[in-house]
Amino acid sequence: MSLVTRPIRVGIGIALAATLSGACSPPAFAPFSELDLDGDGRISQEEATQDVALAAIFADIDMDENGELTPFEYLQAASRR
C-alpha cells in the first residue's frame, strides 16, 4: 500500500462513518414555534404532520390524550431524542 492511497482511504472511512452516524441518529423535531401554525401555544395533531418524526410519535407523547401537545409535552419528547 502506498502512502498516497492511505490518507484517501482514511478520509473516505471518516466521511462514511459521519454519514452513517447521522443516518442512525434519531431526527430532531422542528422548533415548537414553527409547528404551532395558529399561534395558540399548542401543537395540534394536524400541525404535527409538518414534522414526520413528531407525527410518528404524536399519540405516545400526548400525555393527556387531548389531541394537542403543550410546550411541556413537546419538550419532554424532544429531550428524549
In a domain, 4, yes or no: no
In a domain, 75, yes or no: yes
* Percent above pLDDT 90 for the chain: 57
Structural domain harbouring 51: 27-80
User: For residue 58, what is the domain's CATH number?
Assistant: 1.10.238.10
- Angle formed at CA 48 by CA 47 and CA 52, multiple of 5 degrees: 135
In a domain, 61, yes or no: yes
Q: For residue 46, what is its C-alpha cell?
A: 394536524
- pTM strictly above 0.75: no
In a domain, 16, yes or no: no
pLDDT, tens digit (0-9, with 9 covering 90-100), for 47-72: 999 999 999 999 999 999 999 999 99
Element (H, E) at 47: helix 45-48
Q: Please, are residues 49 and 67 in contact by the beta-carbon 8 Å criterion?
A: no
Total domain count, the chain: 1
Q: Using N-to-C axis directions, what is the helix angle for 71-80 and 52-61, rounded to 10°?
A: 110
In a domain, 11, yes or no: no
